[in-house]
Amino acid sequence: MAELREVCDICVVGAGHAGCEAALACARLGFETVIFTVSVDSIALMPCNPNVGGTSKGHLVREIDALGGEMGKNIDKTFIQSKMLNSSKGPAVHSLRAQADKAEYSRAMRKVLENQEHLTIKQAEVCELLVEETAETSEFSQRDKKIVGVKTFTGTVYECKAVILCTGTYLKARCLCGEAITYTGPNGLQAANHLTDSLLSLGIEMRRFKTGTPARMDRRSLDFSKMEEQFGDERVIPFSFSTDPDEVQIDQISCYLTYTNEKTHDIIRANLDRSPIYAGIIEGTGPRYCPSIEDKVVKFSDKDRHQVFIEPEGLHTNEMYVSGMSSSLPEDVQLAMYRTVPGLEHCKIVRNAYAIEYDCIDPKQLYPTLEFKAIKGLFSGGQFNGSSGYEEAAAQGLIAGINASLFLQGREQIVLDRSQAYIGVLIDDLVTKENFEPYRMMTSRAEYRLLLRQDNADLRLRQIGYEVGLVSEETYQAVLRKKEMIETEIARLKNTIVGASAKIQDFLMRHDSAPLKTGASLAELICRPELTYEMLSEIDTERKPLPTDVKEQVEIEVKYEGYIDRQLKQVEHYKKMEKRKIPADLDYNEIGSLRLEARQKLIAYQPISVGQASRISGVSPADISVLLVYLESHRGKETKKG
Amino acid sequence: MFVWQNFVNKVCKSEICNFAKAKLCPRSHECSGMVISMKIDTIAAIATAISDAGIGIIRVSGEEAVSIVQKIYQNKEKKNVLDQYASHTIHYGFIMEEDGTVLDEVMVSVMKAPYSYTMEDTVEINCHGGALMMKKILMAVIHAGARMAEPGEFTKRAFLNGRIDLSKAEAVMDIIHAKNEFALKTSVKQLRGSVYDKVKELRDQILYEIAFIESALDDPEHISLEGYEEKLSNQVFSIMEELEKLLVSADDGRILKEGIRTVIVGRPNVGKSSLLNLLMGQERAIVTDIAGTTRDALEETIRFGDITLHITDTAGIRDTEDVVEKIGVERAKKISEDADLILYVIDSSEVLDKNDEAILKLIEGKKTIILLNKSDLSEVTNQKAIEDLYQKVFDYDGQFLTDKADSVSLLRISAKEKEGLDALRAQIEDYFFHGKIMSENELYITNVRHKEAILEAVESMRRVRQSLENHMPEDFYSIDLMGAYASLGKILGEEVGEDLVNKIFSEFCMGK
């Protein structure tokens, strides 16, 4: 039988949120890219929650957008409700979340892919990775293999120079609804059952994770009068920095809030033995931070109720998503449990809640560039790397796509650090820390979050996107202009001194602010908790009109200057250790004074910097001191081998 | 095994070197400021006090510890078989001289890496005490191929090899450089971890609050921050209080470790030098009857019972036309400003004059003990006269000595008859150690680096309180909570910075 052989630059395996970003980045950077999916109809599918963004995830979407990714633009085209979460709290935790029309989101993304130059969509299951031994093999380098292509189930070979694995939850997937088990991917889609074996034979370590999704209900069977209606924001802020805000002021669809009660919890407790997790049928580890309703009832046993949000799945469907009540309990228990919730008494379930189990990797096998340490040219992103969530997946897909392209261009790959982006935190955590459950982005994971705000993602990352080649010259110049406007205005506020005139004192009195004794700069007044930049316009006669986003940055940077400065100091300290690079060929066995556990961990993780090494669990500060001493004594010298 | 091949250290300029004192310092006194390179060699030193105690220990550590000692050790069958012994065993035998004669009868213990203090192969030779014997055996070990250890080098290796954390390593350095028994006790306590435990406890409390805020940020549905501000405010207050206690102890701790900077002042010829001599137990300063014989300030470190005093005797303070003496007086003023304690000597057989007025002004606000000397002679100046002088100088309306008893007190002594010393010591203890110097439960921070870290933590906590008062959102005060957490981590060695590692290494190289 004649074997079909195709040639391209990069193969992307999987067309979910990671795969789409990866493939678009590669194709946009000029590489002939083929994206594989088991079903073209499932491109950018949202098999779980019908929203994009949320606390810390909204940050990720903004960062993806700033770097030149697609997710933000796509949700701006297809959202049906939008809200800035935590707007009563500090600017660091403001987070944008939009309800998506799922079908539209998927369709819009497919359209973008289909019209992207250099990008080919192929419906096929990739079964095998093709690798070659490299000449670069050395005693201290694990990198003895490089990727040369992939093979599909039908036997076609695609020769390529880089592969990005974004298999999501499809590898050897099985879905569980109580005792009922099906061997499919999400939504009954075909699972990918062959690639795991190929990965194992290449020496890649696999593990098994699980996640779950709640039921979908028929809108007509729900009584919304017993729930609290949840509206979108009056003035919608788009996700993408390139979307014109005036274009997203649409008529929004409401969500609804209701609560579980003791009756709900009693039913769950009484049937815990029928839950595949508690009965031990599920071997995969689930996400602690996106818990099933069973988990919540067990974990927060003192709470007499939990929030349940009823969210529309789209404009052209009656299906409603029951957020906060994902479950793997059997169908009869699910129905009984859901029907105890006010408003859901007569609910009809369209799709049952289920848990899904799948193969993924231990991401310590990856460099922070998302390239496999052991196989040159093999990259991966998304749930395959042990994360959870659309946004986390898209962020990794984008970075994997960028780095695969930079790799082919022979340029230095990018690693965002923890002080640059949530994406940096996400990837550093994945490849450095031990994760025993699907990794979900959370605000608390970012230690420098006051700097990593969703409002300044463009200021932080546009330049990197520009240097990579995904952000246009025009967009980049716009950001530079914005930066300049912000700096000029801040300088003006600091240099404009107002005296203790009657007008000023009257203004202060009206705003419950202490009167001035001597002159003060406008910046000093903005620092007062009770005053804002906007309020000051009354006494700030020199002020020129500025764009809203510039005014926002000015206010935040002036008002929180002290805090931002202190965080910058912390970053400085952190960066010192990040800058101490560890040579890739460092032989840890040569450092006799390292403790055994630390040595094993360092060999396994191969950190790229002393900073990364210090975050590996099992590596103590004393080990880091030893490492520093060793590096210091070898600085500028050729590393001795043997 | 690689340890710190060619690691280059700057030798610091400390004057205290046990090895130099014992005339064993390998590089005598030339090494100050010199750059040396450390090799992966085997080191040896006398591990016990160099005295005429019954038993002494010579410790040898490094890759060749066993083979080096094997060259000079024979068991009772006259065999050199040290390398055949199992780890953590002790053996009877002899240290032999090159000509085959027995140097000493010893017990030798073998501890193989990594189960020793340094985590290297270690051999300890338990020999008969006596400075000469220990020196001879050490020389034999050196001759067999070991290098004389730097002060603290065993500890340095223990630290580098991951055996102990920074806090413990520093405490060991303090023991090596402890100047008196109390300093030693504090160091031992720190080594055992009492400061470590206290700081860890406070740091954990801060971590708990950080974790709580973060959980609330992540899961606002289940974890509410309602009413939390007040709770946190109380907690911050209590942590600050504890930290400030440690800070106060840092000053006490310095005094314990470094001694009390004491200045003797008084008009010429009131008996200052006699007092110093009495405290010293020997004649040192020039003592004459001619006023103004002590031209320069004399500095002496003495052990006064359990306390270390660094005493400066000053030129008698008085209006003087003598230029040379004038310089002495200026210095006295300067020294008084830096002092922890003033001993103000007054000749009770003479009346007070305007020089005494000048002195009172000079020492205002300092912890002062007024010593009415020459109590053996008939008293002309008494407590009443001094009270009057205070009232006059400070325009004070009350009983100064009674009102300011916590910083000024009056004692009668006779330097000539050696009377009043016990009362003086009791008064000093009362001033500096709140009369509780012996308490085992007091925690003393004796390290400057630790004090700085605690100061930073206090500053961060102060900012947290300010943010709370301004009702800033919770993610703002967590920045400063993190700051405090990191600062305290420096003490525990859990925040490793490159600067810190360098700083510690320079401290490790104290001595010479």
Condensed to tens digits (0 to 9), the pLDDT of residues B324-352 reads: 455 556 666 677 777 888 888 888 888 88
pLDDT of residue B35: 26
Same domain, A437 and A511: no
Are A148 and A130 in contact by the 8 Å Cβ rule? The answer is yes
Q: In angstroms, rounded to a whole number, what is the distance separating the alpha carbons of residues A364 and B363?
A: 66
Same domain, B148 and B92: yes
Nearest CB neighbour to B4, from listed A450, A566, A633:
A633
Q: Is residue B498 assigned to a domain?
A: no
Looking at per-residue confidence, does A30 or A499 come out higher?
A: A30
pLDDT of residue A98: 97
Same domain, B248 and B312: no
Pick among A230, A577, A594, A625 to test the B interface (most B CBs inside 10 A):
A625
Condensed to tens digits (0 to 9), the pLDDT of residues A377-414 reads: 999 999 999 999 999 999 999 999 999 999 999 999 99
Instruction: Give me the residue label for tokens 């300049």.
Output: A484
Task: Count up the domains in chain B and report the number.
Answer: 3
Query: Which amino acid, A638?
Result: E
Q: Is residue A57 assigned to a domain?
A: yes
ipTM: 0.81
pLDDT of residue A206: 95
Length reported for chain B: 512
- The mean pLDDT value for A31-58 works out to 95
Q: In angstroms, rounded to a whole number, what is the distance separating the alpha carbons of residues A482 and A463?
A: 13
pLDDT of residue B197: 78
Q: Is residue A575 assigned to a domain?
A: no
Nearest CB neighbour to B161, from listed A577, A593, A614:
A593
Q: Which of A282-291, A309-318, B480-489 has the lowest mean pLDDT?
A: A282-291
Same domain, A320 and A435: no
Condensed to tens digits (0 to 9), the pLDDT of residues A365-386 reads: 999 999 999 999 999 999 999 9
- Chain B, nearest residue to A529 by Cα: B470
> What is the least distance, in Å, from the CA of B489 to any CA of chain A?
10
Closest CA to A379 of A352, A391, A361: A361
Closest CA to A556 of A66, A65, A93, A245: A93
Q: In angstroms, rounded to a whole number, what is the distance separating the alpha carbons of residues B257 and B179?
A: 7
Q: Which sign does the torsion angle of CA A527, A533, A536, A542 carry?
A: positive
- Work out the pLDDT band at A152, boundaries 50, 70, 90: very high
Q: In angstroms, rounded to a whole number, what is the distance separating the alpha carbons of residues A180 and A93?
A: 41
pLDDT of residue A290: 65
Q: Is residue A568 assigned to a domain?
A: no
Closest CA to A493 of A522, A520, A534: A522
pLDDT of residue A250: 96
Q: Is residue A571 assigned to a domain?
A: no
Q: Is residue B416 assigned to a domain?
A: yes
Condensed to tens digits (0 to 9), the pLDDT of residues A579-600 reads: 888 988 888 888 766 777 888 8
Is the pTM value of this prediction over 0.80?
no
Same domain, B151 and B133: yes
Q: In angstroms, rounded to a whole number, what is the distance separating the alpha carbons of residues B77 and B93?
A: 9
Q: Which of A158-167, A332-341, B448-457 has the lowest mean pLDDT?
A: B448-457
pLDDT of residue A575: 85
Condensed to tens digits (0 to 9), the pLDDT of residues A486-532 reads: 999 999 999 999 988 999 999 999 999 999 988 899 999 999 988 99
> What is the least distance, in Å, from the CA of B1 to any CA of chain A?
5
pLDDT of residue A511: 93
The rounded radius of gyration (Å) of the Cα atoms in chain A is 26
Looking at chain A, the whole-number percentage of residues with pLDDT higher than 90 is 71
Looking at per-residue confidence, does B278 or A309 come out higher?
A: A309
Q: Is residue B509 assigned to a domain?
A: no
Same domain, A584 and A528: no
> What CATH code is carried by the domain that includes residue B240?
1.20.120.430
Tell me how crowded residue A485 is: count the other CB atoms within 10 A of its CB.
18
Instruction: Characterize the bridge pairing of strands B102-111 and B122-128.
Output: antiparallel
For residue A426, the enclosing domain spans 5-210+358-468
Contacts of B59 (CB under 8 A, 6+ apart): B44, B45, B46, B47, B122, B123, B124, B125, B149, B154
Residue A270's Cβ-count burial label (10 Å; 0-12, 13-18, 19+) is exposed
Same domain, A411 and A543: no
Are A118 and A33 in contact by the 8 Å Cβ rule? The answer is yes
> What CATH code is carried by the domain that includes residue A338?
2.40.30.260
Same domain, B61 and B158: yes
Q: Which sign does the torsion angle of CA B190, B191, B194, B199 carry?
A: positive
> What is the least distance, in Å, from the CA of A379 to any CA of chain B?
30
pLDDT of residue A447: 86
Q: In angstroms, rounded to a whole number, what is the distance separating the alpha carbons of residues B312 and B177?
A: 22
Mean confidence (pLDDT) of chain A: 91
Same domain, A316 and A264: yes
Are B368 and B337 in contact by the 8 Å Cβ rule? The answer is no
Contacts of A587 (CB under 8 A, 6+ apart): A140, A639, A641
Q: Is residue B134 assigned to a domain?
A: yes
Instruction: Give me the residue label for tokens 């046993």.
Output: A301
pLDDT of residue A60: 98
- Chain A, nearest residue to B113 by Cα: A593
Q: Could you give the 3-state DSSP secondary structure of residue B85?
A: coil
pLDDT of residue A592: 66
| Contacts B161 to A, Cβ<8 Å | 593, 626
> What is the least distance, in Å, from the CA of A489 to any CA of chain B?
24
Closest CA to B344 of B303, B389, B391: B389
Q: Is residue A642 assigned to a domain?
A: no
Q: Is residue B504 assigned to a domain?
A: no
Q: Is residue A639 assigned to a domain?
A: no
pLDDT of residue B52: 52
Q: In angstroms, rounded to a whole number, what is the distance separating the alpha carbons of residues B120 and B64?
A: 10
pLDDT of residue B268: 78
Contact: A443, B217; criterion CB under 8 Å? yes
Are B401 and B383 in contact by the 8 Å Cβ rule? The answer is yes
Are A195 and A124 in contact by the 8 Å Cβ rule? The answer is no
Residue B33's Cβ-count burial label (10 Å; 0-12, 13-18, 19+) is exposed
Q: Is residue B58 assigned to a domain?
A: yes
Q: In angstroms, rounded to a whole number, what is the distance separating the alpha carbons of residues B459 and B480?
A: 9
Task: Count up the domains in chain A and report the number.
Answer: 4
Closest CA to A48 of A273, A215, A251, A243: A215
| Contacts B165 to A, Cβ<8 Å | 621-622
pLDDT of residue B47: 78
Same domain, A152 and A196: yes
Q: Is residue B360 assigned to a domain?
A: yes
> What CATH code is carried by the domain that includes residue A418?
3.50.50.60
Q: What is the side-by-side strand order in the sheet with B298-304?
A: B298-304, B307-313, B260-265, B341-347, B368-373, B408-412
pLDDT along chain B (512 residues), means of 10: 25 29 30 33 78 74 91 89 89 86 88 84 85 81 84 72 63 55 54 69 88 78 80 93 80 63 81 77 44 49 69 60 54 72 86 82 83 81 83 79 78 82 80 50 56 87 92 84 87 60 44 21
Instruction: Characterize the bridge pairing of strands B408-412 and B368-373.
Output: parallel
Same domain, B278 and B159: no
> What is the least distance, in Å, from the CA of A98 to any CA of chain B?
18
Same domain, A596 and A544: no
Domain endpoint, select from B386, B408, B433? B433
Same domain, A243 and A300: yes
Q: In angstroms, rounded to a whole number, what is the distance separating the alpha carbons of residues A484 and A478?
A: 10
Same domain, B344 and B487: no
Q: Is residue A403 assigned to a domain?
A: yes
Same domain, A50 and A189: yes
Closest CA to B58 of B113, B130, B137: B137
Same domain, B365 and B473: no
Same domain, B429 and B390: yes
For residue B20, the enclosing domain spans 7-165
Same domain, A589 and A601: yes
Q: In angstroms, rounded to a whole number, what is the distance separating the alpha carbons of residues B252 and B246?
A: 10
Same domain, B129 and B146: yes
pLDDT of residue B223: 73
Same domain, B141 and B58: yes
- Indicate whether A243 pLDDT > 60: yes
- The mean pLDDT value for A254-263 works out to 96
Same domain, B349 and B469: no
| Contacts B475 to A, Cβ<8 Å | 89-90, 92-93, 443, 449-450
Q: Which residues of B touch A (CB under 8 A)?
A: 1-8, 119, 159-162, 164-166, 214-215, 217-222, 463, 470-476, 479-480, 482-483, 486, 493-498, 501, 505
Are B61 and B141 in contact by the 8 Å Cβ rule? The answer is no
> What CATH code is carried by the domain that includes residue A612?
1.10.150.570
Same domain, A12 and A56: yes
Same domain, A161 and A69: yes
- Tokens for A625, please give them: 């001191």
- Indicate whether A292 pLDDT > 80: yes
Q: Is residue B179 assigned to a domain?
A: no
Q: Is residue A241 assigned to a domain?
A: yes
| Contacts B486 to A, Cβ<8 Å | 570, 573
Q: In angstroms, rounded to a whole number, what is the distance separating the alpha carbons of residues B235 and A228?
A: 37
Contact: A629, B4; criterion CB under 8 Å? yes
Instruction: Give me the residue label for tokens 């029928």.
Output: A274
Q: In angstroms, rounded to a whole number, what is the distance separating the alpha carbons of residues A388 and B217?
A: 19
Are B270 and B316 in contact by the 8 Å Cβ rule? The answer is yes
Same domain, B267 and B245: no
Query: Which amino acid, B297?
Result: A
